[in-house]
Amino acid sequence: MTYALHGRVALVTGAGGGIGRAIAQRLAREGMAVAVLDRDGAAAQTVAAEVRGVAVTADVTSPTEMGGAVDTVLARLGRIDVLVNNAGIAWMGPALDMPLEALQAMLRVNVEGVFIASRAVLPHMIARRSGSIVNLASWAGKTGNAYFAGYSASKFAVIGLTQALARETAPHGIRVNAICPGIVVDTQMRTAIEAQQRHYGLPETSEREKSIPIGRVSVPDDVARIAAFLASDEASYMTGEAINISGGLLMD
């Protein structure tokens, strides 16, 4: 299925690999011009070459860098129709073992990064009275999972921020939604989490897969398909939603 996105422009953060890369690839296949933003400039360049897009190096936690990044995208591509706030980090382990710095880093990247990137793009969208923001939350943002205290806290906050921005920007023709993935493999984050699972003697991903009603874990393109839908006019009556894509792991 295609979503009539040809000719539109997307800015995807954290797009140098994993889910962000898959989203950039999917949006490009839908005919969008894609700005690939990552703090790793080499990774951004690689993915931008794959999608024939524009590479932008910036840290989402820096208002100055994000403001410059948005200016670059507007100068190169003329507009931003879709912002995908994908950049994120995770730390897994018992709450009593979690360094305070790990919690602070997750809140800074996962929450402040979404706020900073959105605030950098929103004046342009408001001026055009059109736009779609897609935030990457998590099923852990709807149910507090053991060993994910800081990550769950940050993703709960992303959902709250999504709802607040959705209400505030709807009168300006802007939609804001979130995606809540379950267990996504083939990403650097999942590789790191699996190492921590082994360290703490917890069930590995292959074992947890047995609890998923659909019977498999997800891959980045599963998430990318939902991002493309939310970016499109097919979702024109949806805002403030936090959509589960967990294979039935979480149903609400």
Active-site residues, by number, are 151
- Whether residue 209 contacts residue 183, with contact meaning beta carbons closer than 8 Å, is answered with yes
Tell me the angle at which helices 63-77 and 113-128 cross, rounded to the nearest 10 degrees.
Answer: 40
One-letter identity of residue 153: A
**E strands along 48-90, which residues?**
54-57, 82-85
Both tokens of 221, joined, read 């393109």
The H or E element that residue 47 is part of is helix 41-51
Give the Å distances, CA to CA, from 57 to 125, 229, 243. Answer: 22, 26, 29
* SS3 track for 115-126: HHHHHHHHHHHH
Angle between helices 220-231 and 18-29 (to 10 degrees): 50
Virtual torsion, Cα 50, 55, 61, 65, nearest 10 deg = 180
